[in-house]
Structure 1
Amino acid sequence: MNILIVFDHPYTGSASENIPHNRSFSAALLAATKKGLRASGHNIDLIDLHKDGFNPVMSSSDLASWRKKEVMDPLIADYQQRLLKADHIIFIFPIWWEGMPAMSKGFLDKVFAKGIVYSEPKPGSLFKCLLPNLKGASLLTVMATPTFIYRWLFGNPITKMVFRGTFRKMGINSLKWYSYSGMEKLTLEQREMHLKKTEKLFAEHWKNK
């Protein structure tokens, strides 16, 4: 499969090593995921939002272009073309204030454009996905909040936004969330164990996908 990974962390995907002040568990997850996917024979296309200098803010001119189904930003046009080739999308980012970082939200706001990524047959109806190959999406998130508290106290806002509010609305129902909570409290060896499990997951369980 062609797997499109959308990565969002200020340190970029290069911060996967245990280097003080330039280390990110999200980046380490990215490295483990890529290694596992390659072992299972998948093709990987990485969008590293911070490395690309993506601007997540929707300006008035951006909104006007969005409404006219025009694409003025060459980076957004490039992202949309890469989406059209994807069989599966994997988002990797930290959860801040119980939601996604600005880059990821801006990616959905600006790149998932009506008439290009989806269509709305009639007002108020479910959308139609215009990505011909897309079969599913996955989320890998890192947060300090324990997962059970995030689910039961806060109501699992990330899956409501990304899965229910975006992909299911477009008719994509093969969706999976992998939550990594409390990683900052673990030893280096324990974190490495989680990374090895992630690599194994994408190497073995994704072989037949």
Structure 2
Amino acid sequence: MKTIVYVHPWEGSFNHAILTSITKDLNAKREKFQVIDLYKDGFNPVFTAEELKHFNRGETPYELVKEYQKKLSQATELIFIFPVWWWDLPAILKGFIDKVMLSGFAFLEDKETGALKGLLTNIEKTTVISTSTTDKEYIESEGGNAIQGVFINRTLADLGIKNEHTKWIHFSGVNLTTDEKRKQFLEEIPQQI
């Protein structure tokens, strides 16, 4: 099943238009999918000292985190939709990784070497769709590239999601481009996932 992790607070955003385009296409094809909408769900990405006690044991006191873990367990394909802010993932998505991808659920750590073994091997394909005001090439050249270099090549890989099954699609100049280019992207994006 496709599981979409959607990360934007404003329904008038281009990110929301991307989500709408993809879900309309999936509905038309009668494909099963589910959406994790972090802002709509009111997900809190911030850890408290009390929560860290649970984290270190691979546990969570939150039903929402358990629901997200259940959805991720059912997923064979992940689709992330988010804006790039300050050259990086939005904080709420980073908090999602921190709070949901727990030891025993998303990975195991070798006690001697510290090496991680990813457990999300049920995910056969991942598409990362991002938007920003700047070009993908510029993002890739700055600061080691938090999207490809860290999020895809390290974080997702450490969770068991193979890099060769992950595609990054980026829409550049979201605030500077034409409506025609936005429309074309929205029409084409369902066929690219």
Name the TM-score, length of structure 1 as normaliser.
Answer: 0.84
**Count of paired positions:** 191
Residues 1-209 of structure 1: pairs in structure 2 closer than 5 A: 2-11=1-10, 15=11, 23-131=12-120, 133-173=122-162, 174-202=165-193
Question: Aligned with 1:145: secondary structure?
Answer: coil
Give 1:117 shift.
1.7
- Give, as a single letter, the amino acid of the residue that structure 2 aligns with 1:58: F
* 2:6–2:81 contact (8 Å) kept in structure 1: yes
- Give, as a single letter, the amino acid of the residue that structure 1 aligns with 2:59: E
Deviations 1:128-172 (A, max 9, x none): 233352223221001011111111244322122211221212332
Q: Distance in 2 between matches of 1:79 and 1:59?
A: 19
Give 1:125 shift.
4.9
* 2:8–2:16 contact (8 Å) kept in structure 1: yes
Q: Distance in 2 between matches of 1:99 and 1:70?
A: 27
Question: Aligned with 1:183: secondary structure?
Answer: coil
Q: Distance in 1 between matches of 2:66 and 2:155?
A: 20
Residues 103 and 49 of structure 1: CA distance in aligned 2, closer, same or farther (over 3 Å): same
Q: Distance in 1 between matches of 2:26 and 2:169?
A: 15
Give 1:123 shift.
4.2
* 2:106–2:159 contact (8 Å) kept in structure 1: no
* 1:84–1:132 contact (8 Å) kept in structure 2: no
Q: Distance in 2 between matches of 1:181 and 1:187?
A: 11
* 1:126–1:170 contact (8 Å) kept in structure 2: no
Q: Distance in 2 between matches of 1:190 and 1:69?
A: 44
Q: Percent identity?
A: 34
Q: Distance in 1 between matches of 2:184 and 2:143?
A: 28
- Give, as a single letter, the amino acid of the residue that structure 2 aligns with 1:181: S
* 2:87–2:146 contact (8 Å) kept in structure 1: yes
Q: Distance in 2 between matches of 1:172 and 1:131?
A: 6
Q: Distance in 1 between matches of 2:27 and 2:112?
A: 42
Q: Unaligned 5+ residue runs, structure 2? A: none
Question: Aligned with 1:58: secondary structure?
Answer: coil
* 1:127–1:171 contact (8 Å) kept in structure 2: no
Name the TM-score, length of structure 2 as normaliser.
Answer: 0.91
Q: Distance in 2 between matches of 1:69 and 1:168?
A: 19
- Give, as a single letter, the amino acid of the residue that structure 2 aligns with 1:118: F
